[in-house]
Chains A and B, each alone.
Chain A
């Protein structure tokens, strides 16, 4: 009984972490199946959704153990997906026991020191470079650089305050547009189009869209559909934020 509980703990944690880090649901399901195969569980049934996970393991004596895990906080962390993936592969190959896997997974899950400055710098640099990539000038680069910086300064506190993600995309869109428009007031040479387009690129739900397509194509219609709606709503809120700020600015200007 104890062995099966450890197996259940390890399998659930791996799969839960993949869902929390923005992984595809088919990957979460495959991880469970692969790990159970390596740990000699005769039968496993698993259903992963973007917002939760349920699974039942059948032991050799025919009894069932089930668990339901609710996934509430979702963000993108590709490194975690990669780490969970390599641990599950080791378990599947029989190189790692359930207890070892559980310990390793708990280690990974422990909140790591966030390099906030690095993230702010990355956001600023990517916004600025996207602007240049889309044909912006160096003046546009500087304005867009600050847009990216401010967005990354504002977003993490908002998510800690439990502001819904969709609302914070709206705010991010509005904030970016406002900063770009203020930038044009300050420096005449700044072009609004490349600045706003470049600065919103990192905010678009790219991972959600690709994962939505991959899930749908695998036949996971519920997860795929849910993710498509998530992506569409994200884009719409961002667009609404831009539109809101543009029309407010126009109202003041006129």
Chain B
């Protein structure tokens, strides 16, 4: 499959996943576009742990900025935006190696999967901390 088919699939997948979580219609387009942006960065950066971190950081920052701009909560965008990065392949491959009895590979893939998850969590937290540090300025204006 060529890269643009993958990116369109990414958009459709993120959008329909958002429908599944009862996301308000008006926010689905934005969160799915954020998902595509994050996933393309992930593909460009060789799909390693650093790529997980940087792509999620981009998603986190985009989500928090959209939340400020559109006056919605960031959770709305993050849930749909981060889903393409969740390492489902890693989880499946870990289990396949466990079942086949090749525990060495299972540990390698498993640790990589867990590291990926940690990187995503760390990046989302980082972006949310950055924005909550910036928040007091907004409160003075009386918008918070």
> A residues touching B (Cβ–Cβ < 8 Å)?
23-24, 27, 76-82, 85, 118-119, 121-123, 125-126, 128-137, 152, 193-194, 196-198, 200-202, 204, 206-207, 209-214, 217, 235, 238-239, 242-243, 246-247, 250
Contact = CB atoms under 8 A, between A and B. Distances in A.
B102 interface: no
B73 interface: yes
Interface in B64-96: 72-73, 75-76, 78-79, 82-84, 86, 88-89, 91-96
Contact of A135 (B6, B20, B22): B6
B45 interface: no
Contacts of B19: 118-119, 122
A125 B95 contact: no
A206 B83 contact: yes
A119 B19 CA distance: 7
Given A85-B73, A135-B1, A201-B83, A126 B16 contact: yes
A147 B124 CA distance: 30
A209 B1 contact: no
Contacts of A81: 73, 75-76
22 contacts: A78-B21, A79-B23, A82-B24, A122-B17, A126-B14, A129-B10, A132-B13, A134-B89, A193-B96, A194-B89, A197-B88, A202-B83, A204-B86, A204-B91, A210-B75, A210-B82, A210-B124, A213-B121, A214-B125, A217-B125, A239-B91, A243-B99
A132 B4 CA distance: 11
B98 interface: yes
Interface in B1-57: 1, 5-7, 9-10, 12-14, 16-24, 27, 39
Given A85-B73, A246-B96, A125 B121 contact: no
Nearest to A218: B132
Determine chain A's interface SS by DSSP, over half rule: helix
Contacts of B21: 76-78, 207
Contact of B99 (A24, A79, A137, A247): A247
Contacts of A214: 124-125, 128
Contacts of B115: none
Given A78-B79, A133-B10, A206-B83, A213 B93 contact: no
B66 to A, nearest CB: 14
Contacts of A207: 21, 75, 79
Nearest to B20: A122
Contacts of A211: 75
Given A122-B16, A133-B84, A239 B95 contact: yes
B111 interface: no
A77 B24 CA distance: 9
A129 B9 CA distance: 5
